[in-house]
A = this chain, B = another copy of it.
Amino acid sequence: MSLPHAILTALLEKPSSGLELARRFDRSIGYFWSASHQQIYRELGKLERGKLIRALPAEVPTRGRRKEYEVLPAGREELERWVDTPEDPKTARDPLPLRLRAAGVVGVRGLVSELRRHRDLHLSRLEEYRAFERRDYPDGPKNERERIQRLVLLGGIDVEAGWVSWLTRAIEELEEAR
């Protein structure tokens, strides 16, 4: 049950509309969570009905009109509760290593070029994250919150770097084997 809490966090950092949230999920929050706008709107509705957030002043509440949300005290409490609730790590879930393993059984076929494609994608993401770090923390973090946000970003960087290095090795080994 992480999506509502991801939204609460994002809204506490900065009150936003649904689409803005969706965009932030493609950037900063997105290092370790993603969500489509459909999911976000549905969840915003639930959170609002549960009195954890509320829509700001709302001139005329119609479809197609921007609607901004902020977190209510109950929402903040729920987030505090969640931060302190232990939860075991889940196994990673990624189809690519699985496909590689399948290739071990049915033959490698076109998979090497797919591995290269993925390496390039991860490499771009890595560069992007590194650029974020240079841009947002040129002199290191300024306070506790920034220190933590940067830690999470560094995690994203490590993960992407890990992919690049693993994929590079896999490609080498598979090519050498031919």
Contact = CB atoms under 8 A, between A and B. Distances in A.
Interface residues of A, number: 71
Contact of A154 (B121, B122, B166, B174): B166
Given A32-B92, A34-B93, A162-B158, A144 B111 contact: no
A90 B144 CA distance: 30
Interface string A95-122: 1111111111111111100100110011
Given A88-B121, A148-B101, A106 B34 contact: no
Interface stretch (A15-23, A44-52, A77-85): A77-85
Contacts of A79: 102, 105-106
Interface of A: 2, 5-6, 8-9, 12-13, 29-34, 76, 79-80, 82-84, 86-111, 114, 117-118, 121-122, 144-145, 147-149, 151-152, 154-156, 158-159, 162-163, 165-166, 169-170, 173-174, 177
Given A30-B91, A158-B162, 14 more contacts: A9-B105, A29-B98, A29-B101, A31-B97, A32-B95, A76-B106, A79-B106, A83-B110, A84-B111, A89-B163, A92-B156, A97-B155, A97-B156, A154-B166
